[in-house]
Amino acid sequence: MHLYDYSSTHNNNPLKNLTAVRNYRVYTEQHLEAIPQIARLSPAQRRAMQVVAKVLPFRVNQYVIDELIDWNNIPHDSIFQLTFPQQDMLAPEDFDRIASMLDAQADPASLQTAIKAIREQLNPHPAAQQSLNVPRLDGEHLDGMQHKYRETVLFFPSQGQTCHSYCTFCFRWAQFVGDKSLRIATSESTLLHRYLERHREVTDLLITGGDPMIMKTRHLTSYLEPLATPAFEHLQTIRIGTKALSYWPHRFVLDDDAHALLQLLEKLVQAGKHVSIMAHCNHWRELDTPIAREAIRKLRETGVVIRSQSPLVAHINDDAEIWARMWKDQVKQGIVPYYMFVERNTGAKRYFEVPLVKAWEIYRTAIQQVSGMGRTARGPSMSAGPGKVEIQGVADINGERVFVLRFIQGRNPDWVQRPFFARYDAQATWLDDLRPAFGEQKFFFEEEYAAMSRDEHGLLMN
């Protein structure tokens, strides 16, 4: 079948009047002072960013700097907080330690030892993702894949293990600090295909990273095109997790291989696959530019579905009005609101975490403001070790105030949709902080999850 020519000019193309296309330029920790807008900040602010960027990864591109950040509202601007390091992302004693070593011009080896020690305290791989989730093929660990839930496999292509810009809250921050022992990645497409052929229970594949859309289309094609053949008929859904719609929408419109990318996606759709772009979008402003709107239009023309997801994070979107507007705007553009996550217990969690009760109140207030089309967003959801646990509300039952919880997804499928209750705790920010209600000693899943952990696999599918 002849594919649509996505390189042709659309009559209502909002980009046709643009006089210039900016080049793609990236700044990292070594280039912070080269960003012109940084000169507006105080010396103390600039020094703090340099210190934090030694520990946590920093990367931002020119599009984000010029088009998304309101430089008249620094440091409070949400997109600035989303992309630039802030002093309180590190514990005071850790910040002071690195700052003192930089001031003293400590030798590089000593500095790196101190940095590594701090990183190891930041739970670089939450939810046991380097142990319980790693599948096996013919007795060998597949280090670039994860198989936590029966139906879904995650694949980490090595060419996609960076991003157009880094999110400061990212739970995969450890992928980007240059320590190979902390990375999850592979370039072995044949192992992916062999594993999927053998595991007919898998219906969903998530290509993740990093950001798979950082890759050239030819690399993405080598992973995805074979999945359109009859050997993978059991694979129903191909998901691609990406921040490109926010950080570099040119990927789908103006990049040299944007045309080929759109054709690849349409080919998969026409082969009967449900292709879903899992758009990581933390604030409504990210998709409120002409180039982002055009990227969304082009993607939707291929037949893919765009779903949006984001954690609720302090300093960026801990406001019901932001979520309500974001969901309304997304529905208007044909995007399906999918998840509101709870910020994971890793990295700069101390700076970004929000109490669970506040997260639920923000979700409830925001969801009340949208129509049924926007109420597809599930949450607040914790992607914890046992599975995805949703906070359904706060209730008073038999004189006890409790959190009402349920599994959206679980290591044991029998846990899914099963309600359970935790004692109300106004300070709790994660599942591990909660205790069972009504005098119970353990949550119903704890013993089985402990057995899975001892088995080191987490699923009986290897």
End residue of a domain, out of 120, 135, 170 = 120
Do 150 and 189 have their domain in common? yes
End residue of a domain, out of 87, 120, 153 = 120
User: What's residue 128's pLDDT?
Assistant: 60
Q: How many angstroms separate the Cα of 136 from the Cα of each of 46, 133, 234, 455, 460? A: 46, 10, 20, 13, 11
Please indicate, yes or no, if residue 407 is contained in any of the structural domains: yes
Please indicate, yes or no, if residue 73 is contained in any of the structural domains: yes
Nearest to 369 by CA among 409, 396, 337: 337
Alpha helices (runs of H) in 310-355, residue ranges in sequence order: 320-332, 349-352
Paired residues of 376 in beta bridges: none
The pLDDT tens digits for 451-460 are 988 765 544 3
Do 170 and 309 have their domain in common? yes
Cα 143 to the chain's mean position, in Å? 19
End residue of a domain, out of 120, 143, 158 = 120
User: What's residue 16's pLDDT?
Assistant: 52
Do 107 and 132 have their domain in common? no
User: What's residue 10's pLDDT?
Assistant: 43
Output the CA torsion 433→436→442→447 (10° steps): -70
Structural domain boundaries, residue 46: 26-120
Can you tell me the distance from the alpha carbon of 228 to that of 296, in angstroms, rounded to the nearest whole number? 24
Can you tell me the distance from the alpha carbon of 48 to that of 109, in angstroms, rounded to the nearest whole number? 21
Please indicate, yes or no, if residue 315 is contained in any of the structural domains: yes
User: What's residue 180's pLDDT?
Assistant: 57
Do 188 and 314 have their domain in common? yes
Do 336 and 424 have their domain in common? yes
User: What's residue 9's pLDDT?
Assistant: 41
Please indicate, yes or no, if residue 244 is contained in any of the structural domains: yes
DSSP codes joined into one string, 197-245: HH-TT--EEEE-SS-GGGS-HHHHHHHHGGGGSGGGTT--EEEEEE-HH
Q: 189-198 and 217-224 are packed helices; what angle lies between their axes, rounded to 10 degrees?
A: 30
Please say whether the beta carbons of 381 and 343 come within 8 A: no
Can you tell me the distance from the alpha carbon of 66 to that of 22, in angstroms, rounded to the nearest whole number? 10
Do 86 and 221 have their domain in common? no
Do 193 and 326 have their domain in common? yes
User: What's residue 34's pLDDT?
Assistant: 94
Q: Taking the chain (462 residues) in consecutive chunks of 10 residues, what is each chunk's mean pLDDT?
A: 41 46 82 93 95 95 97 96 96 96 94 94 72 79 87 91 92 72 62 93 94 95 95 97 97 97 98 98 97 98 98 97 98 98 91 97 98 96 95 96 97 95 97 96 95 64 38
Q: From start to end of 261-399, where are the E strands?
A: 274-280, 305-312, 336-342, 378-383, 387-397
Please say whether the beta carbons of 62 and 24 come within 8 A: yes
Q: How many angstroms separate the Cα of 188 from the Cα of each of 16, 263, 282, 284, 428? A: 40, 23, 32, 37, 41
pTM for the full model? 0.91
The pLDDT tens digits for 283-295 are 999 999 999 999 9
Do 252 and 212 have their domain in common? yes
Please indicate, yes or no, if residue 2 is contained in any of the structural domains: no
Can you tell me the distance from the alpha carbon of 235 to that of 196, in angstroms, rounded to the nearest whole number? 8
Q: Compute and round to an integer the Cα radius of gyration of the chain.
A: 22
Output the CA torsion 40→44→47→52 (10° steps): -110
Pairing of strands 204-207, 136-137: unpaired
Do 257 and 212 have their domain in common? yes
Provide the CATH number for the domain around residue 239. Answer: 3.20.20.70
Can you tell me the distance from the alpha carbon of 23 to that of 28, in angstroms, rounded to the nearest whole number? 16
Please indicate, yes or no, if residue 9 is contained in any of the structural domains: no
Please indicate, yes or no, if residue 367 is contained in any of the structural domains: yes
Do 210 and 339 have their domain in common? yes
Please indicate, yes or no, if residue 347 is contained in any of the structural domains: yes
Q: How many angstroms separate the Cα of 423 from the Cα of each of 15, 161, 379, 448? A: 53, 40, 19, 21
Do 84 and 193 have their domain in common? no
Amino acid identity of residue 423, one-letter, is R
Can you tell me the distance from the alpha carbon of 352 to that of 22, in angstroms, rounded to the nearest whole number? 32
The total domain count for the chain is: 2
Do 256 and 287 have their domain in common? yes
